[in-house]
Amino acid sequence: MSKAKSAKNKAHAGHPARNPSAGASKFEDQVRGAMLPYMAALRAYFNQQHSPADTEAGIEGLVTLLTVHARLREKVAVSELNHDALAIQFKDLRSIGDEVAVTCASMLREFVLFLAESGRWSGSVEEFQAVFDLITAQGGQSPVQVPELDDASADERWAKLPMVHTARALLEWVGEGREVQPNGGLLEADLVAAAAAIGLEVSLDATATEAAVWIPEAGTAIASIEQLPKVGAYWDALLRAGLLTKQQEKAVPTPAVADALNADSGFSARGVKDLLAEGIYAHMLLNGVETKHGNMVTQMSAALLGKAGSANPPRTEAAFSIPAPGELAPEQEHLQPLFEKTVPAAQTLLRAMEAEGLVRIGKHIRVPRVLRASLERALTRVAEQILA
């Protein structure tokens, strides 16, 4: 929705998504009325990622898009979209210009994500997937900018990441293989040793109730893997990247892939580290450090990471700020307690990523260039899993 402001200006003088001669305007009042029950929630959702001015511009553009959609369907529906009608709509938008189509796709993508996450999507899962795939295809490139790095530069950048050294240490601890649970998870009896392998000093206590912390204090008592999110993230990533394979009741290193992780250069070495990073990003976003706020924290963190990998990274102060009482619009004031919980949780998650070298947090939040491709795939995977 980065160009939503210009879309609003066009709406007043003939929005590119509207064809006045086709009679779209007769549906506009009906569309606005149908959106009223969730308008405050939609505005708050957009405000998490955009300035208030851009949010208002985006909503106006969205009203126009849904009005045209209603004309094409001869039906007002603001909690689901029709794939075939949307395909016709994008064909018309492309005839005006690719930039217009991409801008409109960005608006619609955020809108359908809002419907899905808030439980307001009224169509079928299959219809949602078809619509989401179409919008994604029409949206062009993601905000993440993936630069081209020469081999030597990429090797050097990978070598500096704490993530690589931690993964190597855990893989070394596995040795020739470790007995695991039927689902591939670590045995409870191995949690303390696995944690120690990556520099975490904990003790096992079945009655422990300590909250999950990415890097727990020395001597912290834990009862399960859920209280060791760092160990869980790396173990899951090793399995997903093919560094470990489950053979009968054991997790066993895959020789060629393990050798690639331990190598400092080469195509295979870069490839397996890339897959490992994707897995850690995705696991951390989907499982978090503080999980009680669910998808809200995941989406907030994913949005920040997307911007952090773009040409216009977010300012840290703005990204981690909580609206003060009275700053929110009257219809959003009920969301104040939610922001007070989810913003710190998202900050906790990104600070954990910072400890692994997955993000750099200074005046701005930035994703290292060598990790951009890994992040881009992880964000796609996270979105698909949440929507599934």
What are the chain's domains?
Answer: 4-138 (no CATH), 162-270 (no CATH), 276-387 (1.10.10)
Give the model confidence (pLDDT) of 184-201 as tens digits: 999 999 999 999 999 999
Taking only the tens place, the pLDDT of each residue in 347-364 is: 999 999 999 999 999 999
CA distance linking residue 259 with residue 132, whole number of Å: 39
For 15-54, the pLDDT digits (tens) are: 444 443 344 467 899 999 999 999 999 999 888 878 888 8
pLDDT category of residue 8 using cuts at 50, 70 and 90:
very low
Q: Please say if the pLDDT value at position 370 is more than 90.
A: yes
Q: Which residues pair with 360 in a beta bridge?
A: 366
From the number of C-beta atoms within 10 Å of its C-beta (0-12, 13-18, 19+), residue 363 rates as: exposed
Say whether pLDDT at 241 is over 70: yes
% of residues, the chain, pLDDT over 70? 87
Dihedral angle sign, alpha carbons of residues 350, 352, 358, 364: positive
* Mean pLDDT, rounded, for 219-225: 95
Above 80 in pLDDT, residue 219? yes
Q: Contact, 238 vs 167, CB < 8 A?
A: yes
Q: How far is CA 71 from CA 30, 60, 187, in A?
A: 11, 17, 58
pLDDT at 332: 60
Question: Which pair of structure tokens corresponds to residue 242?
Answer: 């093919």
The single-letter code of the amino acid at 208 is A
Residue 12: predicted pLDDT: 33
Q: How confident is the model at residue 138 (pLDDT cuts 50, 70, 90)?
A: confident
pLDDT at residue 41, rounded to an integer: 92
Indicate the average pLDDT of the chain. 86
For residue 36, which of 70, 63, 16 has the smallest C-alpha distance?
A: 63
pLDDT band at 336 (very low <50, low <70, confident <90, very high): confident
pLDDT digit string (tens) for 150-163? 999 999 999 999 99
Report how far apart, in Å, the C-alpha atoms of 105 and of each of 97, 223, 300 are. Answer: 13, 46, 20
- Tell me the average pLDDT across 209-235: 94
Tell me what percent of the residues of the chain surpass a pLDDT of 90.
55
Least-confidence region, from 89-98, 116-125, 334-343, 379-388: 379-388
Predicted local distance difference test score (pLDDT) of residue 158 = 97
Q: Looking at residue 117, what is its pLDDT?
A: 76
Residue 267 tokens read as: 């195509």
- What pLDDT, on a 0 to 100 scale, did the predictor assign at position 17? 44
Residue type at 338? L
- b vs e for 326-350, b when ≥16 Cβ sit within 10 Å of the residue's Cβ? eebeeebeebeeebeebbebbbbbb
- Report pLDDT for 328: 67
Q: What is the mean pLDDT of residues 216-226?
A: 95
